[in-house]
Amino acid sequence: MADRVRDERGMIPGADTIGAPQVTEPKAYSAPTASNAILENARKVCVEVLGPHAQEADRAARPRVENFEALASYGLLGIAIPKEFGGLDAPAVVQRQYTEILASYCGVTTFVQAQHHGASRMIAGSKSALLRNTLVPNLAAGRSLCAISFAHLRRPGPPILRAMFADGGVRLSGTAPWVTGWGLMNQVVLGATLPDGSFIYVWSPANRNDYPELFEQGGPTRDDWGYLTASDPLPLCTMNASATVAIHLDNWFIPQGHVLSQSDRATMHRNDRNGVLNATAMPIGCASAGLRILEHAAASKKLSSITRAAKSFADEVSEARNQVERWSNPESAAVPDFFERAVGIRAWCIELALRTAHAAITAVSGSANSLDHPAQRLIRESMFYTVQAQTIEVMDATLARLERDV
Ligand SMILES: Cc1cc2nc3c(=O)[nH]c(=O)nc-3n(C[C@H](O)[C@H](O)[C@H](O)COP(=O)(O)OP(=O)(O)OC[C@H]3O[C@@H](n4cnc5c(N)ncnc54)[C@H](O)[C@@H]3O)c2cc1C
């Protein structure tokens, strides 16, 4: 499989095709030892709580609350939040390792809690001290959780969720088509498009009565707050228990103090490219879970074919993890063909998750079809990781990876 990586790199348009100098590959980055406690706690929660209930969590109607309570009890729902608000402020590499561990035990819990981390970071960066101080300590402790919805901003064509400046704030109209965790989460960070095509990110609760201190000033004229309605949870083949809804907004008023930031398409595109490896921890975790099933089958069935496959996938998962670490190193962004290499690694991780789950099913045989068996869950989870945070460039790289070699 190492050869496969080398072949793939050879095919990617590299430095010489654009006339830039050849560069050496950046070194891998290792986590500070002080962060080990975070990962040990994550492992403990996974082994004791998430893992034993993973099939149940997958088949539930909504996110399994006990999983979130267990993560919160170790402060892990504040992993991305600055220490001044009670968070763990873990380095990016530790957050990746944490996510991989969780994803190797329970995909739906991993995904739902990941939405909370992104939203919490944005609120912690808000200019409003009142908003930060009211919300972020509770988000860090997991006493409340926040959803996030901005993927729709990537879509071409007329905006699906529009924003207009109004007296004292902003009004939103349209649909946020993907909002995960709704119900477990009672607040959301929404991205919407302004008339000039730029983007605005705002915080909104489902019910402003939950946060009276944040609505004491700056109401709309004539007390016209507009409407926010959430759909029922979308029926899904994978992540069905993620409580993913569509939120419909009609002239929904957001006070100026709840505007988090403004940005534009070019910045989003740049961030998507620079962060293309951010979404690899979940598929690698999924592949690790498939590998565990293979290793278990190898030990119980004692077939040389399964032993061989387990060894091959162990090597490949480890190699993929190393490549992600190497290319997530901040120095790597300076490499001229960084993006071409990184998006190829992202596509590899997507395909590896699917292929490892498929191998696990093959080795387990018929009982892998049981809803009580994790192998069928993993193949469905890998389907979700294929489209999560998908950009046109990730789609292209994934399809190229999946096409038959000619
Ligand atoms: C179960 C589930 C839960 C989710 N939860 C959340 C959530 O909580 N928050 C959130 O923000 N997102 C969420 N998402 C969205 C997810 O991260 C992906 O963005 C989404 O799955 C991509 O699918 P889409 O149909 O929205 O694709 P699109 O975004 O419509 O398309 C994918 C990419 O291809 C590009 N593209 C598509 N067609 C064209 C074209 N004709 N020309 C040029 N470019 C094109 C788009 O610009 C985009 O970059 C969720 C998705 C799922 C399936």
- Do residues 285 and 100 touch, judged by C-beta distance below 8 A? yes
- Do residues 230 and 246 touch, judged by C-beta distance below 8 A? yes
Residue 183 φ then ψ, to 5°: 110, -60
* Domains by residue range for the chain, with CATH: 2-25+267-402 (1.20.140.10), 33-141 (1.10.540.10), 147-263 (2.40.110.10)
Residue closest via CA to ligand 1's atom 10 equals 149
Average pLDDT on 301-317 reads: 98
Residue to mutate, 122, 155, 382, 395, ligand 1, most ligand atoms under 8 Å from C-beta: 155
**Would you list the DSSP string of 21-49?**
PP-PPPPP----GGGHHHHHHHHHHIIII
Cβ-proximal residues to 215 (8 Å cutoff; 6+ apart), any chain: 208, 255
In Å, what is the CA distance from 276 to each residue of 34, 79, 160, 393?
27, 20, 24, 10
Residue to mutate, 188, 392, 395, 398, ligand 1, most ligand atoms under 8 Å from C-beta: 392
What is the pLDDT confidence band of residue 228, given thresholds at 50, 70 and 90? very high
Q: What is the pLDDT of residues 198-217, one digit of tens each?
A: 999 999 999 999 999 999 98
pLDDT exceeds cutoff 50 at 26: no
Atom of ligand 1 nearest to the CA of 242: 1
- Do residues 222 and 202 touch, judged by C-beta distance below 8 A? no
Tokens describing residue 385: 């990781």
Please tell me the predicted confidence (pLDDT) of residue 219: 87
Residue closest via CA to ligand 1's atom 42 equals 156
Question: What's the pTM value of the predicted model, to 2 decimals?
Answer: 0.92
Cα of 391 from ligand 1 centre, angstroms: 7
Residue closest via CA to ligand 1's atom 34 equals 392
Nearest CA among 124, 128, 122, 119 for reference residue 257: 128
Atom of ligand 1 nearest to the CA of 149: 11
Q: What is the pLDDT of residues 105-138, one digit of tens each?
A: 999 999 999 999 999 999 999 999 999 999 999 9
What is the pLDDT confidence band of residue 29, given thresholds at 50, 70 and 90? very low
Cα of 272 from ligand 1 centre, angstroms: 13
